[in-house]
Structure 1
Amino acid sequence: MSSNKTDIKQYKDLLKQYLETKDEVVLYQAEQLNKAIKQDVSPDEIIEQHFKALLEIDPDMDDKIKDSFDFLIQTMTSYALAYKEYHELRAKQLELKAEIEVAANMQNTLLSTTVPGVQNIDIGATSIPAKLMNGDYYHFVQDDEGNIGVAVADVIGKGIPAAFFMSMIKYAMESFPENRMYPKVILELLNRVVERNVESGMFVTMFYGLYDVHKHEFYYATAGHEPGFIYRAQQDQFEEIDAKGLLLGVQKEVKYNQYIDGINEGDLIVLLTDGVTECRDGDRFIEREEVLEVIREYKHLSAQEIVDNVYKYLERLQDFKLRDDFTLIVLKRND
């Protein structure tokens, strides 16, 4: 209990009053006093002060009761040590949480990106971390012809190291020249950066696409990333983006295949991470077809509204508890 004499006197007075009246109001006052007592006071100290207060109230206390308090104080000693360790651990956890929050804010700043505004191309994007730190990443760039480069990545290995490793990838991408660079070249350059700098056991999956805003052609390559989809408005069907490639950082020299698809009016390009396609409804994994049906349901909306509605739908299915980082990007051609 607090060493403050005023607190001890208040405690003794309240105890005496309660023993005489059994008034619940007194119990409430004792509860409020307890809240004012320092948290680092151990349980055996509380019992000892209670015993002293009783002795002042009843100096002729029965010897057996006195002995029982001695016994209780001794048996509480080991509990008091555990109690102290608990509060020390709690203090460290709060300190660590504060540091992670700072790191998360830094991550948001370091990995921030601007969604480009391009005529005839509507873009929506969201990335929601399951915890404070986000292991997913997306980034937009534009070359000197106005074409849109879009990267979606997922670090295998989470936490602060993964988050800051993503910032290294972003700044590596921004160091590339602004003239047109095709996806296979981007991935090959990034693979060298990752292989030289990543720690053992940490790899990166990435999808990189380049949208030619003049020809409406979509070039893309992948480094082991979750395949996306193209919604064909004319056929009202989804096509899986069929591309393969080795994860970034596995080997020093890797060549990536590049693919190209034409994009027609009303078509959607859907890029994502596995936090979208591997959502769970209870013990059931949500099928990809279910996700695609939700996208189809909202295809008439703006790209950002499509993204937001898909997220809300899957968030509700998971009882508002994301099990994995969620990243979804939609590019919609509007002529």
Structure 2
Amino acid sequence: STDNSIGRERLEKEYTKIYDLGVELVVSMQIQGKTKGLILLGRRVNNQPYNETDIEFIYSVGSLAIISLENKRLFLEELEKRKLEEELDLARDIQRNLLPLCLPRFDNFDIAALNISSKQVGGDYYDVIPLDEDNFCIAIADVSGKGVPASLLMANIQAFLQVICKQGMKIDEATGLINDLISENITDGRFITFFWGIVNTKKNTFNYVNAGHNPPLLIRDGKINKLEKGGIILGVMKTDIPYISEEVELKKDDVIIMFTDGVSEAMNKNREEFSDERLESVVLSIIDKPAELIMNGIKTEVQNFASGITQSDDITMVVMKAK
């Protein structure tokens, strides 16, 4: 079709640079009316001009070629998509297997936790680990990045924590050791924000360290305190400056809310973040409820706020209430 080609005369007038290269005919290669490539032809051996039949033939051959190439591209794209889906499924499985199947129960503490995985699968992690009859460890972490690499790093933090928390080390020194181990295992610029603490159920104390994580909220008598004492995020460098721990005495009805940035940074369709302020306001309105209802109340508010938007990050929370 002459609609899909540019002949010698037009080339000479409008496309002189191409014509000067010796091109006498340009035929487009199209799929569904869209040009995907061009065939450039020089002078014929017999010096005869290209006629309508020649152009139709070249156009047909070109269309077959471009359809074949497009099919190959789509096939490779589909393969890549499937490979990515398989990787994300693997990451999901790793994450699911690392999180506690059910939470241990304690007489004077009510604990609830959740993890809602995003489509990309992040590296959010939480754990509650009984240590002895008077103490348990509680932790939350957020590994930078998505997919399998984030999940594998999450597996590292889980393994280190499971072993180290049972060694009876001081929590600030233990955090330094965890950081050193993580730093040795990170080679690609990833890092982990990490918050953990040891609860003594006899003395009702909570001894914690915050390694660059979103400060958990301690709510007491309608006032919010942030648990910020600690040090740098894990994995950036070996422990140079020691981590600092802080001990908090917990009273009846005190609530501690630990969360990852998937909560506070959840976005709505106007690209506004849920924000720490909104989280604090929601928390204060439901603070008299049991831990699970507080957690579900926050989850509902976050999901309503971000309704209609694909969840871009994992949402993870741990709520602990002193009885």
Secondary structure at the residue paired with 2:234?
Answer: coil
Q: Check if 1:163 corresponds to 2:151.
A: yes
Q: CA separation in 2, counterparts of 1:110 and 1:237? A: 34
**Partner of residue 251, structure 2:** 264
Cα 1:133–1:287 shift into 2, 3 Å: closer
Secondary structure at the residue paired with 1:175?
Answer: helix
Deviations 1:240-288 (A, max 9, x none): 2232411112222341001111111111011111121222232222332
Which range moves more in the overlay, 325-334 or 156-165?
A: 156-165
Match of 1:330 among 309, 319, 322: 319
**Partner of residue 246, structure 1:** 232
Cα 1:100–1:284 shift into 2, 3 Å: closer
Q: Which amino acid aligns with 2:185?
A: N
Deviations 1:66-94 (A, max 9, x none): 98974653342324312321122212321
CA contact under 8 A between 1:226 and 1:273: conserved in structure 2? yes
Which segments of 5 or more consecutive residues in structure 2 lack a partner in the other structure?
1-30, 33-51
**Partner of residue 283, structure 1:** 271
1:45-56 pair list within 5 angstroms: none
Match of 1:117 among 94, 102, 105: 105
Q: CA separation in 1, counterparts of 2:77 and 2:190? A: 29
Structure 1 or 2: larger strand share?
2
Identical aligned residues as a percent: 27
Q: Check if 1:74 corresponds to 2:61.
A: yes
Q: Which amino acid aligns with 1:332?
A: K
Q: Check if 1:293 corresponds to 2:287.
A: no
Cα 1:105–1:132 shift into 2, 3 Å: farther
In the TM superposition, residue 307 of structure 1 has moved relative to its aligned partner by 1.0
Deviations 1:291-333 (A, max 9, x none): 1121222223221221122112111211252232211111001
Q: Which amino acid aligns with 1:149?
A: C
Q: May I ask how many residue pairs the two structures share in their alignment?
A: 271
Q: CA separation in 2, counterparts of 1:243 and 1:177? A: 19
Q: Which amino acid aligns with 1:115?
A: L
CA contact under 8 A between 1:275 and 1:326: conserved in structure 2? yes
Give TM-score scaled by structure 2 length: 0.76
CA contact under 8 A between 1:113 and 1:140: conserved in structure 2? no
In the TM superposition, residue 237 of structure 1 has moved relative to its aligned partner by 1.4
Q: CA separation in 2, counterparts of 1:121 and 1:133? A: 30
The RMSD of aligned alpha carbons is 2.5
Which segments of 5 or more consecutive residues in structure 1 lack a partner in the other structure?
1-42, 45-64
Give TM-score scaled by structure 1 length: 0.73
**Partner of residue 190, structure 2:** 202
Structure 1 or 2: larger helix share?
1
1:178-217 pair list within 5 angstroms: 178=166, 180-217=168-205
Q: Which amino acid aligns with 2:319?
A: V
Q: CA separation in 2, counterparts of 1:91 and 1:250? A: 35
Secondary structure at the residue paired with 2:164?
Answer: coil
In the TM superposition, residue 195 of structure 1 has moved relative to its aligned partner by 1.5
Secondary structure at the residue paired with 2:231?
Answer: coil
Q: CA separation in 1, counterparts of 2:286 and 2:229? A: 26
Cα 1:67–1:253 shift into 2, 3 Å: closer
